[in-house]
Amino acid sequence: MKFRWETEFKETEIGEIPKDWEVSKAIEHIEFIRGIEPGSKFYKNFGKYKFIRVGNLSGERNEEVFIDIEVENEKIANKDDILISFDGTVGIVKMGLEGVFSSGIRKIKVKEQSQKKLNYKFLYWFFKSTLKNQIFGFSDEKTTIAHAGDSIPHLKIFLSPLSEQSRIAQVLSYFDDLIENKKKQNEILEKTAMAIFKNWFIDFEPFKDQEFVYNEELGKEIPKGWEVKRLGEVAEIIKGVSYNTPDISSNSEGEVFITLNNFLRGGGFKSEYSYYIGTRAKENHIVKNGDLIIALTDMTPLAQVVGAPAIVILPYGYEKGIISLDCAKIKLNNDYLKFYIYLYLKYTQEENSTFAGGVNVLHLKLDLFKANKFILIPPPSILQHFHSLVEPLFQKIIINQKQIMTLKKVRDTLLPLLVFGKLRIEEL
């Protein structure tokens, strides 16, 4: 792989580019195909087509809906299509989704006469790097959701040598492939840990030969000699710090701030960080790598976040973080309980959510939860054996997640350098 720094540039409407590159209107080379809006009355739990909404592009929606109506082929996306949001969260660029897409989304299609001028994957990276600035900068007035689509005739693209576009796309996609492989590893590792948990503590497969007794709190038979305790008997639940908007920064200054945004629906940790620059945080609001936390509030329609657990993963270079009032740290009285309780709470997240109240925003009723959430506690020898099996899996998940963050940082650093031709790839 051979790189060189470019030294000769020319100024364009969207930034400096190498002298041998050109700028052109996107609509001269690309079709922006608008999706459909059938209306929520046509949404189904199962159907012919998955329906892709703007929230599916931004990650704000995990739930799937389907439609059964007749649709033109051009309104159907496959995994190799570029989709762009021009409604809701504007400027999201995504590939890898399949289904019919909504009217707030455009599918990118290169016109036949330009297919020898543009590398499709390069367009994906180009729009990832420039689209938001172009949308919000196409006029002197502040662009709003209502007229974000009006920016399309004003969008520009770079016409660089096709071979160079291909090399740029290959290098950036290489990082994405590594990231995706790490994510898949983590999914497999966590599913393995959950499979062991269910086999041992839900189905009791290794203990079938033991005597079982009925437990009223859990409403089922459990191995004789095993205990059932209230969550409040095995753990202290410590709420995070209250905060105002000025206490939060998107730049990496202050302490890493762990909020509701760090929880995956159903449980698990999402590595998207903000930073706390306030002054109200105390010692008991501090979390470290590997700490167990739980979500206390929820605004999702199916209550998939409240009561969901997560294992904290901090970015490289940070030894501690601060948790917000929307979540709490679970401090256990036995170290061997951590991954067991995490999996137990994740497996029973739907039940956990029943301890929450509220109309538009759900809040976990902590006292009720601690007193009435019953936990099956196996004998110490079994708990220790289980811990010895799953701890290496979770340690590997943490290592992988940190590597994902590093890969993303390198990729995102390279992205504008390559797309704007500051750093030229001469050969791979």
Taking the CA atoms of the chain, what radius of gyration do you get in angstroms?
Answer: 25
Mean pLDDT of the chain: 93
pLDDT at 232 over 90: yes
Inside any domain, residue 62: yes
Inside any domain, residue 372: yes
pLDDT at 109 over 60: yes
* Residue 62: predicted pLDDT: 66
End position of a domain, from candidates 131, 159, 187: 159
330-356 burial string, b = 16+ CB within 10 Å, else e? beeeeebbbbbbbbbbbbbbeebbebb
DSSP-assigned beta bridge partners for residue 357: 363
Rounded CA gap, 96 and 176, in Å? 12
* Residue 242: predicted pLDDT: 94
Would you give the distance in Å from CA 239 to the centre of its chain?
24
Residue-wise pLDDT tens digits, 259-317:
999 999 899 999 989 999 999 999 999 999 999 999 999 987 788 999 999 999 999 88
End position of a domain, from candidates 331, 361, 377: 377
Inside any domain, residue 233: yes
* Residue 349: predicted pLDDT: 97
Mean pLDDT of 67-94: 94
* Residue 137: predicted pLDDT: 76
Backbone angles phi, psi at 354, to 5 degrees: -70, -10
Distances (CA, A) of 209 to 195, 204, 380, 387: 20, 10, 19, 22
pLDDT at 141 over 90: no
In DSSP notation, 208-233 reads TTS-EEEETTTTEEEETT-EEEEHHH
Same domain, 33 and 145: yes
Query: DSSP class of residue 173?
Result: H
User: What is the β-pairing status of strands 255-258 and 321-323?
Assistant: parallel
3-state class of 80 per DSSP?
coil
Would you give the distance in Å from CA 157 to the centre of its chain?
28
Residue-wise pLDDT tens digits, 314-351:
998 899 999 999 999 999 999 899 999 999 999 999 99
Domain that holds residue 89: 22-159
Q: Which helix (H) or strand (E) holds 77?
A: strand 76-77
Rounded CA gap, 163 and 173, in Å? 15
Inside any domain, residue 245: yes
* Residue 428: predicted pLDDT: 87
Rounded CA gap, 89 and 363, in Å? 26
Q: Who wins on pLDDT, 182 or 252?
A: 182
Inside any domain, residue 401: no
Same domain, 255 and 364: yes
Q: How many domains does the chain have?
A: 2
> By percentage, how much of the chain surpasses pLDDT 90?
84
Residue-wise pLDDT tens digits, 60-80:
666 789 999 999 999 999 999
Same domain, 363 and 242: yes
Inside any domain, residue 90: yes
CATH number at residue 249: 3.90.220.20
Inside any domain, residue 188: no
Inside any domain, residue 59: yes
143 confidence band (pLDDT: 50, 70, 90): very low
Same domain, 155 and 233: no
End position of a domain, from candidates 126, 159, 192: 159
Same domain, 268 and 135: no
Rounded CA gap, 224 and 202, in Å? 15
pLDDT at 237 over 80: yes
Same domain, 131 and 272: no
